[in-house]
């Protein structure tokens, strides 16, 4: 009984989250109505994330983390499960934004307008998965490989 209810609830939430392709907010869209809240100072900045050619070793490590910690809520396609699918995510989000969403999940959900908009759509708050910056960088490499 309870199990069935949970499944229906999750499906309803997944649908409320909208289609993967309709979420077109660009990473550079300014917050409506003025300046966004000042981000916490320990957020990862653009110059801390260097992207070169895709590194297969990092992709493999990132996939291992994905299988254990992210797969329940994220697909590697464009469809949403609980959270958005990851295919072509780099077309929509800056690398450092993705890193911050993974490492500083709560700070992002509290201060970043785009993360907040997603939370409003998805109605489920992504839990912090306690990944290190290196772990997150490997997951980012895995996302790039999709």
Q: Name the closest residue to ligand HEC (Cβ).
A: 83
Query: Could you give the CA distance from residue 31 to residue 4 in angstroms, rounded to a whole number?
Result: 39
Query: Could you give the CA distance from residue 17 to residue 19 in angstroms, rounded to a whole number?
Result: 7
CB of 100 to ligand HEC, least distance (A): 9
Q: Which residues contact 144 (CB under 8 A, 6 or more apart)?
A: 51, 54, 59, 90
CB nearer to ligand HEC: pick between 49 and 102? 102
Residue 124 near ligand HEC by CB under 6 A:
yes
Largest separation between any pair of C-alpha atoms in the chain: 51
Q: Given the rule CB under 6 A, which residues bind ligand HEC?
A: 65, 69-70, 72-74, 82-84, 89, 93, 98, 101-102, 109, 118-119, 122, 124-127, 129, 131, 139
């Amino acid at each position: 009984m309870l199990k069935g209810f949970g499944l229906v609830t999750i499906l309803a939430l997944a649908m409320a989250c909208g289609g993967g392709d309709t979420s077109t907010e660009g990473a550079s869209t300014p917050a409506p109505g003025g300046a966004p809240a000042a981000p916490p100072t320990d957020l990862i900045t653009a110059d801390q994330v260097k992207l070169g050619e895709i590194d297969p070793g990092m992709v493999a490590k990132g996939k291992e983390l994905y299988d254990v910690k992210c797969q329940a809520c994220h697909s590697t396609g464009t469809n949403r499960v609980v959270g958005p699918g990851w295919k072509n995510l780099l077309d929509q989000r800056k690398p450092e934004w993705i890193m911050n969403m993974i490492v500083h999940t709560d700070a992002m959900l509290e201060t970043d307008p785009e993360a907040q908009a997603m939370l409003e759509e998805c109605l489920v708050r992504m839990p912090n998965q306690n990944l290190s910056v290196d772990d997150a960088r490997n997951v980012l490499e895995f996302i790039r490989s999709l």
